[in-house]
A and B are shown apart, each in its own frame.
Chain A
Amino acid sequence: MGLRLQNIDKIVGRETHLKNISLEFEPGSRNIILGRTLAGKTSLLRIMAGLDRPTIGKLHIDDRDVTGISVRKRSIAMVYQQFINYPSLTVYKNIASPLKIAGLKRTEIDQRVRKTAAILHIDDLLDRLPTELSGGQQQRTAIARALVKEADLLLLDEPLVNLDFKLREELRIELQEIFSRRKAIVVYTTTEPAEALMIGGNIVVIDEGRILQTGPTSDVYQNPATIKVADVFSDPPMNYLKGVVTADAMRLGHGIDIPLYGHWSSLKVGQYQFGIRANHLFLTRTSEAEVKIRTTIELSEINGSETFIHVNYDNSMLVIQQNGVHAYRIGDPITLFVNPHYLMAYNEDGLLAASPSMKTATGTNVGNVGDNHGEH
């Protein structure tokens, strides 16, 4: 089954939730919708599911217009942020419920329920009620209920957001494995870049109800087409250094001159913002090409097994991500090493002008930008 969204708008009252959304999903594909909270991810999923009707636009399944067709008549399964299970039914009956409604034979239901429960490692909890389960187990039950239907379209709306860190990591890995064996179109929404990268597949970056960029997830990560995409698809946030490109060199911040070579040679003369990810800023020199930035530490925080150092340079905040737990004193001087190879150049309109993996400045693998409808 292929799913195609054509110029979809969703307007509720005076608010535009979605604007001009056109997307195509191929059978068996894994798709991520990445966007911040309230970007319109859930609205988009609800329209794909048929829970909501688009204000304008059409929804096609295999060239059949299904825009007005009730969700009850479609082959869909959905997993929510909240752990949605029938509260008075056991795990077994919860998983069996969609099959029961579909009118399957008892033996087949039993077989499929047990198989799905085994995949999600809840086969020893089948007699429990949802309230007797932990959060992770409740969400596993909800996922099992979605999988057991073997629907053509599997929608997951930030399914791991309400779980604690460890459970999230665990389920993320399992989900990846589960998705790869499905024939269904999987659409997975998230706010987290790391989660998007892990699930892989194709990505749709949305913000304020509009598509910013589409393409294979890793391509989009390496070549965020606009500053906006880079911001959404970067955690900790992308660092920016102001710079000027002249005929033979580029100058960053306070007089750091870098000769134009490699992907920089195609840059036109002008003002740029150079983006670099927190994990590409180093505290020790790793290669000859690196340039030095001297500044002082403003803040140092430890998150999990990583340390984030915040510094101020040339009136902008930079964040350095370091593996491992390190203690730093606020106010101490610090030297950063920036490898120009990792820089991404954004022009004054906020559009990507050059990046390490971009083939030319106008790029063939830079995804679709802004007014584009996202056709593949």
Chain B
Amino acid sequence: MDKWEDNKAWFLVLPVFVIVAFSAIIPLMTVVNYSLQDIWGPGQRVFVGAEWFKETLSDHRLHDALWRQFLFSGMVLLIEIPLGIMIALAMPKRGWGVSASLVTLALPLLIPWNVIGTIWIIFTRPDIGLFGAAINGLNITFDHTSSPLDAWITLMFMEVWHWTPLVALLAYSGLRAIPEAYFQAAKIDGASAWATFRYIQLPKMRGVLTIAILLRFMDSFLIYAEPFVLTGGGPGNSTTFLSIYLVKIAVGQFDLGPAAAFSLIYFVIILLFSWLFYQALQNVGKGEKNG
């Protein structure tokens, strides 16, 4: 440590420090700043402590939005992950079918998010939409603008259609990375198709599935554009998710203090759940040691 003065290497860290400060720390601190003060205008502010947090945490509309959000993300994971794996397993392994299925799968991922909402509005319209008119033609009343259940069904369909391909692509890349010898070894052992999946394919896909689950959880928990375009949070508040509610407070009502407090809580929830998922998935394989 006697050469401390000469240690100019510290300067090399500086650019990164500056970039991170401007890209993450300063914006975040601005939010923290808003969350702890009541600000009317330039120079007019008063420190309010944890008041905005208390107000936000006791807001029952926020509680509702939070449960809705968990329900939505939970359903997204329960449907998209198994479905994505199934699609990946069914995809061809060689030949022209590989590129054909990869391109087809990637299509929904290339469409801008608000366009997706518009596509599904038109698709499900009871009067002219292909899906909406067809369903109504079967004498089933289906209208996502008036029935909360229909709105949820439409949203789930849209979400699954939009994002399952990502899970499938990730799972497919994981499957393709398994050396052929594993499958031969399983065959020689006489292992069943299920055992091959359970003891070779699934464990070998753990890495990519961890990424898929984390991405899908975070993304679905932050979902905004698609439901905003499709339902605008309605009918009633039935599809008002956290981000939609947050924008209502921040932009609609211009309540920056509560909105900032809300944002920080939102951030902590996502961080916490991502960490929980990550920890759980890291320990999945090891649990079998004693089993």
Q: Please determine whether B190 and A51 come into contact, CB atoms closer than 8 angstroms.
A: no
Q: For residue B291, give the distance in angstroms from its CB to the closest CB of chain A.
A: 9
> Is B179 part of the contact surface with A, judged by Cβ < 8 Å?
yes
Q: Please determine whether A88 and B203 come into contact, CB atoms closer than 8 angstroms.
A: yes
Q: Give residues 47-81 of A contacting B (CB, 8 Å).
A: 49, 51, 71-72, 76-78, 80-81
> Is B200 part of the contact surface with A, judged by Cβ < 8 Å?
yes
- A87-B181 contact in complex given A98-B189, A102-B190, C-beta closer than 8 Å: no
- A127-B289 contact in complex given A80-B181, A84-B179, A86-B200, C-beta closer than 8 Å: yes
Closest to B289 in A: A90
> Is B111 part of the contact surface with A, judged by Cβ < 8 Å?
no
Q: Please determine whether A129 and B286 come into contact, CB atoms closer than 8 angstroms.
A: yes
- The docked-state distance in angstroms from the alpha carbon of A51 to that of B186 is 11
Residues of B within 8 A of A93 (CB): 288
Q: Give residues 259-291 of B contacting A (CB, 8 Å).
A: 285-286, 288-289
> Is A295 part of the contact surface with B, judged by Cβ < 8 Å?
no
Q: For residue B227, give the distance in angstroms from its CB to the closest CB of chain A.
A: 38
User: Secondary structure of the B side of the interface?
Assistant: helix
> Is A89 part of the contact surface with B, judged by Cβ < 8 Å?
yes
- The docked-state distance in angstroms from the alpha carbon of A361 to that of B265 is 91
Closest to A86 in B: B199
Q: Please determine whether A78 and B288 come into contact, CB atoms closer than 8 angstroms.
A: no
Q: Please determine whether A129 and B285 come into contact, CB atoms closer than 8 angstroms.
A: yes
- The docked-state distance in angstroms from the alpha carbon of A46 to that of B203 is 26
Q: Please determine whether A82 and B181 come into contact, CB atoms closer than 8 angstroms.
A: yes
- A82-B179 contact in complex given A87-B204, A88-B285, A129-B289, C-beta closer than 8 Å: yes
- The docked-state distance in angstroms from the alpha carbon of A98 to that of B288 is 18
Q: Please determine whether A87 and B285 come into contact, CB atoms closer than 8 angstroms.
A: yes
Interface residues on B, range: 20 to 34
Q: Please determine whether A88 and B184 come into contact, CB atoms closer than 8 angstroms.
A: no
> Is B185 part of the contact surface with A, judged by Cβ < 8 Å?
yes
- The docked-state distance in angstroms from the alpha carbon of A129 to that of B204 is 13
Residues of B within 8 A of A46 (CB): 184
Residues of A within 8 A of B13 (CB): none
> Is B182 part of the contact surface with A, judged by Cβ < 8 Å?
yes
> Is B188 part of the contact surface with A, judged by Cβ < 8 Å?
yes
> Is A29 part of the contact surface with B, judged by Cβ < 8 Å?
no
Q: For residue B220, give the distance in angstroms from its CB to the closest CB of chain A.
A: 28
> Is A43 part of the contact surface with B, judged by Cβ < 8 Å?
no
Q: For residue A218, give the distance in angstroms from its CB to the closest CB of chain B.
A: 31
Q: Give residues 75-129 of A contacting B (CB, 8 Å).
A: 76-78, 80-82, 84, 86-90, 93, 97-98, 101-102, 127, 129
- The docked-state distance in angstroms from the alpha carbon of A78 to that of B187 is 11
- The docked-state distance in angstroms from the alpha carbon of A31 to that of B289 is 38
Q: Please determine whether A51 and B187 come into contact, CB atoms closer than 8 angstroms.
A: yes
Residues of B within 8 A of A127 (CB): 289
Number of interface residues of A (CB under 8 A): 24
Residues of A within 8 A of B215 (CB): none
- The docked-state distance in angstroms from the alpha carbon of A129 to that of B284 is 13
For A46, A81, A86, the residue with the greatest tally of chain B CB atoms inside 10 Å of its CB is A86
Residues of B within 8 A of A88 (CB): 199, 202-203, 285, 288
Q: Residue-by-residue, is B175-205 near A (CB-CB < 8 Å gives 1, otherwise 0)?
A: 0000101101101111100010001101110
Q: Please determine whether A76 and B188 come into contact, CB atoms closer than 8 angstroms.
A: yes
Q: Please determine whether A84 and B187 come into contact, CB atoms closer than 8 angstroms.
A: no
Q: Residue-by-residue, is B194-226 near A (CB-CB < 8 Å gives 1, otherwise 0)?
A: 010001101110000000000000000000000
Q: Residue-by-residue, is B157-189 near A (CB-CB < 8 Å gives 1, otherwise 0)?
A: 000000000000000000000010110110111
Q: Please determine whether A78 and B199 come into contact, CB atoms closer than 8 angstroms.
A: no
- The docked-state distance in angstroms from the alpha carbon of A87 to that of B205 is 11
Q: Please determine whether B203 and A86 come into contact, CB atoms closer than 8 angstroms.
A: yes
Q: For residue A166, give the distance in angstroms from its CB to the closest CB of chain B.
A: 24
Q: Please determine whether A89 and B179 come into contact, CB atoms closer than 8 angstroms.
A: no
Residues of A within 8 A of B200 (CB): 86-87
Residues of B within 8 A of A78 (CB): 184-185, 188
Residues of A within 8 A of B285 (CB): 87-88, 129
Residues of B within 8 A of A80 (CB): 181, 184-185
Residues of A within 8 A of B203 (CB): 86-88
- A101-B189 contact in complex given A86-B200, A88-B285, C-beta closer than 8 Å: yes
Closest to A70 in B: B187
- The docked-state distance in angstroms from the alpha carbon of A10 to that of B289 is 43
- The docked-state distance in angstroms from the alpha carbon of A88 to that of B200 is 8
Closest to A74 in B: B188
Q: Please determine whether B181 and A72 come into contact, CB atoms closer than 8 angstroms.
A: no
Known contacts A71-B187, A71-B188; can you find 16 more A-B pairs with CB under 8 A?
A49-B188, A51-B188, A72-B190, A80-B184, A87-B199, A87-B200, A88-B285, A88-B288, A89-B199, A89-B288, A90-B289, A97-B199, A98-B189, A101-B195, A127-B289, A129-B289
- A-B CB contact pairs (8 Å), 13 listed: A72-B188, A76-B188, A78-B188, A81-B181, A84-B179, A86-B200, A88-B199, A88-B203, A89-B288, A93-B288, A98-B190, A101-B191, A127-B289
Give the B-binding residues of A (Cβ under 8 A): 46, 49, 51, 71-72, 76-78, 80-82, 84, 86-90, 93, 97-98, 101-102, 127, 129
